[in-house]
Structures are given as structure tokens and as C-alpha cells.
Amino acid sequence: MTTATHAKGLEGVIAGETEICNVEQTSLVYRGYEIADLAANASFEEVAFLLLVGHKPSSDELGAFKAELIAERALPSAVVEFLKTSGNLVNNEYAVPMDILRTAVSILSHLDADCQDNAGDANLRKSKRLLAQIPTVIGHMQNSIEGKDFIAPNANLSHSANLLYMMTGSEPTPEAEKVMDVSLVLYAEHDYNASTFTARVISGTLGDLHGAVTGAIAALKGKLHGGANEAAMEMLADIRNDIGSDNDLGKVTDWMHQAFADKRKLMGFGHRVYKNGDHRAPILHGLGRKAAQARGEDFIKLFELGEMVQKIMEDEKKIYPNVDFPCGMTYFTMGIPVPQYTPIFVASRITGWAAHIMEQHANNRLIRPRVAYIGPAPRNWND
């Protein structure tokens, strides 16, 4: 019987080394650059290059990188044909957008000439393709759900603006583009989170990049991980449905106390590492609040409700919001359908996943932990 100590959920366990990201109580760093610095001063394309290639791009490198992404945005016909049916799958409740996205990435693997090649240059090419293609998958999927014609990618738009355009058919305002761009920067990487660890376990078997990304998408779907932004918005909708839209503090407090009594898990709060608050959250909250003020009273009230909920959680439970809480409100304010919140997370985190997969393949050892056995003592079958 194994007697070594263990940590439930691997909490606090150092499972590997990385040059990509450092998550601490008071900081989040991508390859040496702190997240607040990146959110204020770098575009998502610059951050994507930093994560995938390993250094800050020069102006020439950034221009070439952007051109590569634009050239890879269109999808193979087989994937387009699949996505034409995706609206029926979702509207008939056979699937959700994250399922559709996972399947689309899996199909893309069969159509990529580099799929079975785990060499660094091949992995980088595949990473760029997926980074470029995932917004198109999301856009076509949303068009299919709404019964609309598919929209071709717009080569004149940035990665963030094109993502919004693909879903809506309208070019976003500079303000909306900025909010989306910063949200993608904030979501791009977060060391050995559940989905990234999944990707590293798969790539540690020498599984291919598409396979590892497919597994990561499946992990991200869960409400305790990427799905938390959708769940947080659903929670606020529940509060509004129960108490009305007047944001009465007493009613909000009563609702929260009942949720505490029922031991309801309130999504968008708490973090395994950031015990005193996720410093990505106020960055996105500020941008979302500004967007709400531009949209009108209903959206301002949504943020005011969120702020009431946040204060009660902080004052009474000493639990702080993570980035998913303001993300839900911000994306709702931007008119993004709630089921697409987590797929948009994928459009960002593909950069972090791919960087980790390449790092794992470059210096690989099979990830195979032990487990503490707590079952019956040895016994005889014939007794």
C-alpha cells in the first residue's frame, strides 16, 4: 500500500517546470512580462507571438505574424460542412458550443499535413493555424445557431475585431475591439491550470498537438474551469429573476444568505492560487463597467448587481472574484451570446496551450503520478 502523503486535487504540488508563465499570489507573468503591463500596452497578437515564439516581436516579426494568421483564417470545406449542421445540434440540445468547437478541432487534425509531426517547427505551424481558425469556427457556429449565412473572415480586422465580426456580421467599434483584445490577453495563459495540465499529460505521451488541444477543450468546458464565466452570468440572471431588476440591497443580501444556507456554489469566486483576489478581475471589471456606461441603464444595473454580490462575498466569506466574474458581465454587455463565452476563452487560451505542448514535446518525460490506495486489504478470491 502506498504510504506517501498526497494533496487532494494536487493542490500545492509542483508538477513540472516552465519558462512560459508564473502565477503567484500577487502577480501573473507571461515570459517575464506582468499581466497589467501587457493588458495596458500589448495587443493580443503581440502576446500570442510572445507565448508561441518565446520573445517580444519586432515590428517586422509582428507584421509577418499577423499576415500569417490572416492567411490561415479560412476553414477547410469539411469543417465548414460540419459547422452548417452545428446549429441544429445546439438548438435541439444535442450539443453545446464547446462540444462543437472540440469536434471541429478534431476534424481539423485530419486535414493538417503536419498533424503527426511533433517537431518544433511543425508544432508552431499548427499552433498558428489553430489560433487563426478558432475564431472562424466560433463565428460560423454562431451563424448556424441563428440560421444565418456564414460570414467570411475580414482580412482588414485584427484578431479580436475579426472574432466579434465573425459572430455578429458587424465591424465592432474601437471600444468593443479593445475590450475583447484585453480579455484575450488576460485569458491567454495561466501555468498548470486544469486544461493546460490536460494538454501536457496528452502531449507527454507524445500525442499530437491537435489531440492535446482537443483534450484541453474538453477540460475547459467544465463549470469549475472555463465554464465558470457562463455559470457566473447564469447566477446573476437567477438573482435578477428572483428579486427583479431594482437591485434592492436587502433583497440581494437575502438571496445571497439563502444561497449560503443552501450551500450553493457561487461561480466566478475563489481561486486555487489567488487567495486574496485575482488581479486580472479588476482590469476586466473596469473595462466592462465603462462599456456598460456606454450601453445604458440596464447594463449599468447589471454591473451594480455584480458589485453588490461581490461585496457580500468579500465581506461575509472573504472570497474574492476571479476573472470569470467580470468576464460574464462584460461579454453580456457586448451582446455576446452566453454559450459562446467559453469558446471565446479557447480563442485566447489556445496560445498558452500550444506553448505548453511545444515545451513538453521539446523536453519530454511521460507524466505518470502515483496514487494513494485506500481500498480493501489483500484478500483471496476463493475465500
Active-site positions read 225, 271, 324
- Cβ-proximal residues to 157 (8 Å cutoff; 6+ apart), any chain: 165, 171
Q: Where are the alpha helices (DSSP H) in the chain?
A: 35-41, 44-53, 59-71, 77-84, 86-91, 97-110, 120-145, 159-168, 174-187, 194-204, 209-220, 228-243, 249-261, 281-295, 297-312, 324-333, 341-362
* Angle, in degrees to the nearest 10, between helices 297-312 and 324-333: 170
Cell representation of residue 271:
481561486
Q: Residues with Cβ < 8 Å from 352, sequence gap 6 or more?
A: 20, 21, 51, 188, 189, 190, 196
The single residue listed with the C-alpha cell 504540488 is 13
- Residues contacting 227, CB < 8 A, separation 6+: 98, 220, 221, 342
- What stretch of H or E contains 30? strand 27-30
Q: Could you give the C-alpha distances from 190 to 105, 122, 240, in angstroms and in order?
A: 21, 24, 32
